[in-house]
Amino acid sequence: MIGLITKRAGMAAVTLFGVAVVVFGLLRVAPGDPIAMMIGPGATADDILRLRASYGLDQPLINQFWIWLGSLLQGDFGTSISRRIDVGQLLLERLPATIELALMALLVSMVLGGFIAIIGTLWRRHWASGAIDGVNGVLLAIPEFVWALALVLALGVAFPVLPLSGRINPSLTTDFRTGFSLLESLLIFRFDLAADLARHMTMPVLALALPLAGIIARVLREALSEAMMQDYVTLARVKGMSELRLILFEAMRNAIGPTLALTGVQFTFLIGGTVIVEKIFSYPGLGNMAIDAVVNRDFPLIQGLVLMFGVIFILINLLVDFAVVAFNPRLRHG
Amino acid sequence: MVDVTITAASHQNWKPIVAAAFSDPKVAVGGGFILLLIILALGADLIAPHDPLAQDLMLGSLPPVGMAGTEPGYWLGTDDLGRDVLSRFIHGTRIALTVAFVAATIAATVGTVVGLLAGYFGGWIDVVVSRLIEIWMAFPAVLLSILIVAILGSGMHSVIIAIAIIDWTRFARVVRAETMAQRQADYVTASTVLGFSRLGILAGEILPNVLWVVLGLFTLELGLAVVIEAILSFVGLSVSSDTPTWGGMIAQGRGIIYQAWWVFALPLAGLLATVLAFNQLGAGLRRSLDPVMQR
């Protein structure tokens, strides 16, 4: 088991290195001299040369890469060109908002997906199960971008019940100490703030959660249906257990493992989806900032953001791998 | 002579299978809608009732037919500049479908070739391909596509290249796994024993059996490519703002959503229907064409 974990962690490190190489490569082929962007128009040729040397840009490409990687490893992500703030600081400011959004969406998708799967299994011989499958097919076919726009039209304009943009009503006095506004407002019993935050989060959370809910429902439903045909379930049924209890307490035990493993991997796609969804709802997280950074050609900020997403994705995949190994006895001695 | 029987056994009777595919309701509905879009795209100049770029501020923000204050001939209303929404939508199908078909074809070709090589030869090729796929998966797809277009400069070529770059792994992953499974199959062992060249087996025996899977993925990819193009033009990075695109219309409509929601609603409905149509088409094709599911 230790061997397997070491191997996976090693592979994750290789992937992370590869991500760094790709980011470095992408930003080197990007048009525009980064020094020219940093320096004012009054700079002399000598100033530019000195600044180039101080960033190591006069060295061969391979040396530049090591210098760049070295400063990244020391936590130095450079300064944002458009915002004139340290990139590392900007990332840490925005990260909590995205984490709250992504985790809420994950929670909603698991509850909704689990509910659809359980109802579908319970009614598997009923005509309604066909309708449930149809709804589920639509849920997973439509990407988060399209869900987000449809929600804007439905709940923001046609039936204007939810705010269209932002994270909290600007008129509310907020002096949060952390970026985890929703969690914090609950912890300090400011339920008025929590309710407003939740209202602002509802549409982006739904847009992110609906496709994943469809995937979870499909996989869990298949796993549950298969488990329901196992002998141990039949035995419990003969003992007089109700169908719902059979699904929840017997079949679920075998079905939940593979579903959770898949959910973990799909969660990275959900986080990727926050980029465009945050933009649509002007939600002040990493993704919204990422699109602005690209449009403004703020390359230090872009590289920090892409690397941050890369680290998050690789860590989630690694955690899923560990969880699969830890919960599967057959792999434990591999 | 022997190889003919083996090959024939793996995809015999394709005619009834194709016939079955066309009578599948999912293929009929999904494919029918896509066919309609293709006709709109090809005949946009003839079908569109107005010039999609013609502005007339006297006719600004006209609502669609059935609401108060409409103007005859402007069936689905106009935007704030007085441009006909229906005509802009029809012309927008051109960009959407061109980008989708070209980008998906490139992604499918690259991904399939890479996946076949990695799955069949294994060894260092497989190690390199698997690593690459894993690195690709560590990037948020939307952010990467936006970044690539920003680097290449906006325009249809950049959008196509960006979609192909981010989505070849979808094909490579599945084809690699499928090829590994096929490699163990009896017909491949038989061909190897008969002394066929490895590339010959790959192209002549494995590829035709993997192609069904690729076709299903390709159909899904078409829908995804339409969405990514819409995202890129929504962000303002796709083709120039003169050319009408669904994403561009959505972004414009978002700004005037309280005055003229129809500018937003029509391209959104088109996007929704297109994604669902490609999805149904893909599901139907997979159900009726895949020889594995036939069994």
Phi, psi angle pair for A59, to nearest 5° = -90, 165
Of chain A, the percentage scoring pLDDT greater than 90 comes to: 38
The answer, for A160 touching chain B at a CB cutoff of 8 Å, is no
**Nearest of A53, A23, A48 to residue A38 by alpha carbon:** A48
pLDDT at position A25, please? 87
- What average pLDDT does this structure show over B185-213? 84
Q: For residue B121, give both structure tokens.
A: 């030869």
- Tally of CB atoms within 10 A around A137: 16
- The radius of gyration of chain B from alpha carbons, rounded to an integer in Å, stands at 23
**Could you read off the pLDDT of B126-179 as tens digits, one per residue?**
999 999 999 998 999 999 999 999 888 888 999 999 999 999 999 999 999 999
Beta strand ranges found along B153-252 (DSSP E):
none
- What average pLDDT does this structure show over B242-255? 90
Q: For residue A288, give both structure tokens.
A: 């919204």
The answer, for B293 touching chain A at a CB cutoff of 8 Å, is no
What are the helix and strand counts (H, E) for chain A? 15, 0
Total number of residues shown for chain B: 295
Q: For residue B132, give both structure tokens.
A: 């690459």
Q: Which residues of B touch A160 (CB under 8 A)?
A: none
Q: Is the dihedral of CA B150, B152, B155, B160 positive or negative?
A: negative
Mutate to test the interface with B, among A16, A270, A291 (most CBs of B within 10 A): A291
- Residue A311, pLDDT above cutoff 50: yes
The answer, for A32 touching chain B at a CB cutoff of 8 Å, is no
- Residue B7, pLDDT above cutoff 60: no
Q: CB under 8 Å to B53, separation ≥6 — which residues?
A: B83, B242, B244
Q: Is the dihedral of CA A234, A238, A243, A246 positive or negative?
A: negative
Question: What structural domains does chain A harbor?
Answer: 95-296 (1.10.3720.10)
pLDDT at position B110, please? 97
pLDDT band at B3 (very low <50, low <70, confident <90, very high): very low
Q: For residue B248, give both structure tokens.
A: 């561009």
Partner-chain residue, chosen from B138, B142, B254, that has the shortest CB–CB distance to A15: B138
- Residue A155, pLDDT above cutoff 50: yes
- Residue A296, pLDDT above cutoff 90: no
Phi, psi angle pair for B76, to nearest 5° = -110, 25
**Could you read off the pLDDT of A234-292 as tens digits, one per residue?**
888 888 888 888 888 888 888 888 898 899 889 999 999 999 999 999 999 999 999 99
CA distance B97 to B237: 17
**Nearest of B147, B149, B284, B169 to residue B215 by alpha carbon:** B284
How near does any CA of chain A get to the CA of B262, in Å? Answer: 10
- Residue A36, pLDDT above cutoff 80: no
* ipTM of the predicted assembly exceeds 0.90: no
Chain A residues 10-29 with CB within 8 Å of chain B: 11, 14-16, 18-19, 22, 26, 29
Q: For residue B265, give both structure tokens.
A: 């609603």
pLDDT band at B1 (very low <50, low <70, confident <90, very high): very low
Spatial contact of A4 and A331, defined as CB atoms under 8 Å apart: yes
The answer, for A162 touching chain B at a CB cutoff of 8 Å, is no
**Could you read off the pLDDT of B83-110 as tens digits, one per residue?**
888 989 999 999 999 999 999 999 999 9
Spatial contact of B84 and B78, defined as CB atoms under 8 Å apart: yes
Q: B39-294 has which CATH code?
A: 1.10.3720.10
CA-based angle A115:A116:A118, to the nearest 5? Answer: 65
- Residue B4, pLDDT above cutoff 50: no
Spatial contact of A274 and A286, defined as CB atoms under 8 Å apart: yes
- Residue A51, pLDDT above cutoff 70: yes
| Spans of all domains in chain B | 39-294
**Could you read off the pLDDT of A134-143 as tens digits, one per residue?**
899 999 999 9
Position A23: which residue type?
V
Q: Find tokens 């020094």 and name the residue.
A: A35
The residue that leads in pLDDT, B251 or A38, is B251
